[in-house]
Copies of this chain bind each other. A is one copy, B any other.
């Protein structure tokens, strides 16, 4: 994949590099995208079990999202991840695996942190934190997948600030 890119990557080449026959690959994976999905899941991606916690939620979210867009603008990471995302967008079963195995665990890391902040009274109790995570990450994915805007640190910083405005506890009356 790193050598020839996704479009020219073939199951034959994967099989050959693995020293097995093509049928062996097909026995376990229905497509090259499915092979890549499993390869991704075996590769440390820098995704941690929890967000960094300096006690400053805005700063923590900004630092994680800056690292995320750095990754998404790095061609070595970008190409296979885009290949999986495109294949998943086109294929409902792969989408289910992509969501369940790659996306949801990522979203859950944010949701846990937001829930802890909510329990500490720093996020309004009425806010659905799962939806708040989508507010934060949806625009990043949209700019990335559609190439519809620059994936800069300035963008993610502003996104964090705007999203956090929605989460502030309401002051009485």
The residues of A with any CB-CB pair to B shorter than 8 Å are: 82, 85-86, 88-90, 92, 95-96, 98-99, 103-104, 127-128, 131-132, 134-135, 137-143, 145-149, 155, 158-159, 162-163, 165-168, 171
Contacts and interface: CB of A to CB of B under 8 A. Distances in A.
Given A96-B147, A135-B163, A142-B142, 11 more contacts: A82-B90, A86-B89, A89-B89, A128-B158, A131-B162, A134-B139, A134-B142, A134-B143, A134-B159, A138-B139, A138-B141
Nearest to A83: B90
Contacts of A104: 148
Contacts of A96: 147
B86 A132 contact: no
State how many copies of this chain the complex holds. Answer: 2
8 contacts: A82-B90, A89-B146, A95-B148, A103-B146, A135-B139, A135-B163, A162-B166, A165-B165
Contact of A162 (B86, B90, B132): B132
